[in-house]
């Protein structure tokens, strides 16, 4: 049984992969599965007396969007929080550095955007019906107060985490404390690793990093008017030091652990603030 919880709406955390989810088991001692989640792998815990829901979505846009819709439809959370690993677009960001999403955009190769515009379609890939009206957005911005709280939580958790010790750190670069930046998180159903493609996307979208979920989760939350925040920890900078296949799981798990600590700190902050 969970500890007695207050009656405010729960907070929800969407986690993409098993490696990124594993740290929550150690960080939330009373974490337990929910039998009412159908096919979804969904858990609950108590944090500062508040009900906390965690869903393991699996990687990718469809999984993330579907899991977000399930959370909102079934539980009406006060906010959806999201995080995990990401690949750097900003060449200055190294493994362990943190991007707090201030803006979310679906990224695609330049030709995709140009082809849409040439045919009279919006260049943006963020589009949905809301109350019968078509919404087409170039990007989705984070809510200012939620962004501020996410920045503070990420800064505190990153300072405590210290320098990166998992694979992926360039040998020529002295290890340092993590950077924490706020900026554009780009999302795509791919893992961009080619140097030229990374440069093109950086120029086109000004993205700090790339993942496969954040913009899609932001889209579903925008459709329902639910506050959303994302904190992504770099697991790799492919241009500076490419990960081998054997190194990928350890890097993702370490990034996931750091993201989990930031998100739980943010959830605690929101609870204290009365969200």
What mean pLDDT comes out for the span 166-174?
A: 96
Q: Is residue 1 part of a domain?
A: no
The per-residue DSSP string of 44-112 comes to: EEEETTEEEEEEE--SSHHHHHHHHHHHHHHH--SEEEEEEEEEESSTT--TT-EEEEEEEEE---HHH
pLDDT number for residue 36: 86
CATH number of domain containing 144:
3.40.50.1580
| 134: three-class secondary structure by DSSP | strand
- Choose between 32 and 275: higher pLDDT: 32
Q: Is residue 50 part of a domain?
A: yes
The total of structural domains in the chain comes to 1
pLDDT digits (tens, 9 = 90+) for 201-243: 888 899 999 999 999 999 999 999 999 999 999 999 998 999 9
pLDDT of 5 above 50: no
pLDDT of 143 above 50: yes
pLDDT digits (tens, 9 = 90+) for 83-128: 999 999 999 999 999 999 999 999 987 777 778 788 887 777 899 9
Torsion angle in degrees (nearest 10) through CA of 183, 187, 193, 198: -50
- Name residue, tokens 């550095």: 97
Strands 140-141 and 50-56: unpaired
Q: Is residue 5 part of a domain?
A: no
Q: Is residue 4 part of a domain?
A: no
Q: Is residue 3 part of a domain?
A: no
Lowest-confidence range among 38-47, 100-109, 174-183, 194-203?
194-203
Which pLDDT band, with edges at 50, 70 and 90, does 2 fall under? very low
Q: Is residue 6 part of a domain?
A: no
Q: Is residue 2 part of a domain?
A: no
Q: Cα(62)–Cα(189) distance, rounded to whole angstroms?
A: 9
Residues 6+ apart with CB under 8 A from 105: 124, 126, 138, 139, 140, 184, 185, 186, 187, 205, 207, 215
What mean pLDDT comes out for the span 21-35?
A: 95
pLDDT number for residue 223: 97
Q: Which domain holds residue 211?
A: 11-272
- Choose between 111 and 154: higher pLDDT: 154
Q: Which phi and psi (to 5°) does residue 82 adopt?
A: -150, 145
What mean pLDDT comes out for the span 180-207?
A: 89
pLDDT of 152 above 50: yes
Lowest-confidence range among 4-8, 142-146, 158-162, 173-177?
4-8
pLDDT of 144 above 80: yes
Chain mean pLDDT for the chain: 92
Q: Is residue 71 part of a domain?
A: yes
pLDDT number for residue 6: 45
């Amino acid at each position: 049984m969970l500890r007695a919880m207050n009656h405010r709406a729960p907070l929800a955390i969407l986690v993409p992969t098993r490696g990124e989810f594993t740290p929550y088991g150690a960080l939330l001692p009373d974490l337990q599965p929910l039998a009412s989640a159908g096919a979804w792998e969904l858990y609950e815990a108590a944090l500062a007396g508040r009900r906390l829901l965690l869903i393991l979505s699996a990687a990718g846009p469809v999984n993330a969007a579907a899991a977000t819709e399930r959370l909102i439809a079934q539980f009406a959370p006060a906010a959806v929080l999201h995080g995990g690993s990401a690949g750097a677009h900003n060449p200055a960001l190294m493994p362990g550095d943190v991007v707090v999403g201030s803006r979310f955009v679906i990224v695609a190769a330049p030709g995709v955007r140009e082809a849409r515009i040439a045919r009279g379609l919006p260049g943006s890939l963020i589009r949905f019906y809301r109350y019968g009206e078509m919404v087409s957005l170039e990007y989705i911005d984070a809510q200012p107060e939620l962004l501020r709280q996410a920045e503070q939580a990420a800064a505190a958790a990153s300072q405590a985490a210290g320098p990166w010790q998992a694979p992926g750190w360039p040998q020529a670069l002295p290890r340092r404390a993590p950077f924490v930046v706020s900026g554009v998180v780009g999302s795509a159903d791919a893992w961009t690793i080619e140097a030229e493609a990374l440069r093109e996307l950086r120029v086109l979208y000004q993205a700090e990093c790339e993942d496969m979920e954040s913009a899609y989760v932001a889209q579903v939350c925008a459709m329902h008017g639910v506050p959303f925040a994302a904190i992504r920890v770099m697991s790799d900078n492919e241009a500076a030091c490419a990960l081998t296949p054997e190194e990928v799981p350890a890097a993702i798990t370490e990034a996931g652990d750091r993201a989990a600590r930031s998100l739980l700190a943010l959830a605690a902050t929101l609870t204290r603030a009365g969200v």
